[in-house]
Amino acid sequence: MARLYVKIKEKDNVAVAVQDIKAGTRITEDLTANQDIPQAHKIALCDISAGKEIIRYGVVLGYAIHEIRKGDWINEHMLELPESPSLDHLEYGTNLVEMENLPMPKRTTWMGYRNQTGPAGTRNLLGIVTTVQCAAGVLQVAVEQMKKELLPKYPNVDDIVAVTHPYGCGVAIHAPLAEIPIRAITNIIRHPNFGGEIMVVGLGCEKLTYSYVLPQEDITKENVLTLQDYAGHDAMMQAIFEMAEKKLQKLNKRHREELPLSELLIGMQCGGSDAFSGISANPSAGYAADLLVRGGATVMFSEVTEVRDGVQMLAARCVDAHTRDRLVEEMKWYDKYLAEGGVGRDANPTPGNKAGGLSNIVEKAMGSIAKSGSSPIVEVLSPAEKPTKHGLIYAATPASDIVCGPSQVASGIGLQVFMTGRGTPYGLAISPVIKVCSRKEMKAHWFDLIDISAGAVVTGEATIQDVGEEIFDMILDVASGLKKPYSDQYGFHNDMCIFNPAPIT
Residues of this chain that bind Ca ion (CB under 5 A): 271, 399, 401
Does residue 215 have a cis peptide bond before it, meaning omega lies within 30 degrees of 0?
no
Q: Which is nearer to Ca ion, 34 or 382 (CB)?
A: 382
Q: Whole-angstrom Cα distance, residue 505 to residue 501?
A: 13
Half-sphere exposure of 435 (CA within 13 A, CB side): 30
Q: Which is nearer to Ca ion, 223 or 382 (CB)?
A: 382
Residue type, 44: A
Task: Give the nearer residue to Ca ion in terms of CB position, either 141 or 355.
Answer: 355
Nearer to Ca ion, 195 or 271 (CB): 271
Task: Pick the closer one to Ca ion by CB: 407 or 453.
Answer: 407
CB 360 → Ca ion: shortest distance, Å? 16
How many CA within 13 A on the CB side of residue 110?
Answer: 32
| Cα separation, 358 vs 8, whole angstroms | 15
119 or 271, CB closer to Ca ion? 271
Q: Which residue sits closest to Ca ion, CB atoms considered? A: 271
Beta strands in 18-139 (DSSP E): 26-28, 31-32, 42-44, 53-56, 59-64, 73-74, 79-80, 109-112, 125-130
For Ca ion, the closer of residues 110 and 426 by Cβ is 426
CB of 301 to Ca ion, least distance (A): 10
**Closer residue to Ca ion, CB minimum distance, 112 or 367:** 367
Question: CA dist 97 to 172, 257, 318, 425, Å?
Answer: 44, 32, 11, 35
Reduced to 3 states (helix: H, G, I; strand: E, B; else coil), residue 417 is: strand
Rounded CA-CA distance 56/346 in Å is: 18
Measured from the CB of residue 244, what is the shortest distance to Ca ion in angstroms? 33
- Comparing CA positions, the residue from 218, 205, 234, 190 lying closest to residue 135 is 205
Strand partners, 44: 14
The whole-angstrom separation of Cα 146 and Cα 357 is 46
Closest CA to 307 of 240, 362, 252, 261: 362
CB of 354 to Ca ion, least distance (A): 16
Distance from the Cα of residue 454 to its chain's centroid: 17
Which CB atom, from 421 or from 432, has the smaller least distance to Ca ion? 421
Distance CA 276, CA 455 (A): 8
Q: How far is the CB of 2 from Ca ion (least distance, A)?
A: 30
Supply the minimum distance, in Å, between the C-beta of residue 401 and Ca ion.
4
CB of 496 to Ca ion, least distance (A): 16
Query: What is the distance, to the nearest Å, from the Cα of residue 466 to the centroid of all Cα atoms in its chain?
Result: 22
The 3-state DSSP class for residue 294 equals helix
Whole-angstrom distance, CA of residue 438 vs CA of residue 420: 6
Q: Angle at which helices 136-149 and 232-251 pack, to 10 degrees?
A: 60
Report d(CA 160, CA 142) in Å as an integer.
10
Smallest distance, Ca ion to C-beta of residue 344, A? 18
For Ca ion, the closer of residues 48 and 433 by Cβ is 433
Q: What gap in Å lies between CA 297 and CA 424, rounded to an integer?
A: 27
Counting DSSP H helices and E strands in the chain, the numbers are 15, 22
CB of 406 to Ca ion, least distance (A): 12
For the CB of residue 364, give the shortest distance to Ca ion in the complex, in Å: 10
Residue 401 or residue 441: which is nearer to Ca ion going by CB? 401
Task: Closer to Ca ion by CB, 399 or 415: give it.
Answer: 399
Min dist CB 74 to Ca ion, Å, is 24
Question: Smallest distance from the beta carbon of 302 to Ca ion, in angstroms?
Answer: 8
